[in-house]
Amino acid sequence: MKLRIAIAVIAVASLAGCQPAEAPAPEAQADAAGLTRLPVSLNAAMVGMVDHSADYLFALGNGDLPRNDNDWHLVTSSAYEMMLGGAVIQVPGSGQFDREWTANPEWQTLARDLTTIGAQALALSESKSTDVDEWRKVGDRLIQNCLACHAKFKPEIPSDGVLRGSTERQSRGISIFGY
């Protein structure tokens, strides 16, 4: 419920013309045990969560709009996935550089930003917004965040060998949504 309230606040803030960047990011809280280690590498979290969900969120800004409730469901899940991805990558996994990266405050900030941007996408998705410009703004914020972090941290060769899946359909201009 708390999450919904935070999102509603963001939605109202953007309606009021505030810079969405000023909206507070919904914060993840560790419980007493905390989450100290992911069961996979950050490389895998990047490909399996962050990159996977980004594809759906970028699609709308490129004019590839959902056509039915199932498509919207994919977009909403992706927004949640991005919000969660930002929290997940604050924790090191099994990759060789994971501890070093997550110990860096700049990494933590960039990771938290993913959650904020994911929340902005969620607000658009929950209202089934077909405003391509608004989606493009969210997509632009997202790509800047990816690039900023990659410029600073990403090694030439993925540390755990996990590579991005095929994007052939997208590169051929075919919709990411169902046939």
Which residues are at the interface with ligand HEC (CB under 6 A)? 41-43, 46-47, 50-51, 54, 89, 95, 101, 107, 110-111, 114, 142, 145-146, 149-150, 153-155, 158-160, 163-164
Residue of 112, 61, 55 whose CA lies nearest to 84: 112
**Residue 42 or residue 83: which is nearer to ligand HEC going by CB?**
42
Distances (CA, A) of 9 to 4, 128, 131, 177: 9, 17, 20, 29
**Residue 43 or residue 120: which is nearer to ligand HEC going by CB?**
43
**Least distance (Å) from ligand HEC to the CB of residue 96?**
7
**Least distance (Å) from ligand HEC to the CB of residue 88?**
11
Token representation of residue 18: 């505030």
**Least distance (Å) from ligand HEC to the CB of residue 176?**
14
* Residue type, position 13, single letter: A
How many alpha carbons lie under 13 Å from residue 123 in its C-beta half-sphere?
A: 24
**Residue 9 or residue 62: which is nearer to ligand HEC going by CB?**
62
**Least distance (Å) from ligand HEC to the CB of residue 100?**
10
Token representation of residue 55: 């594809």
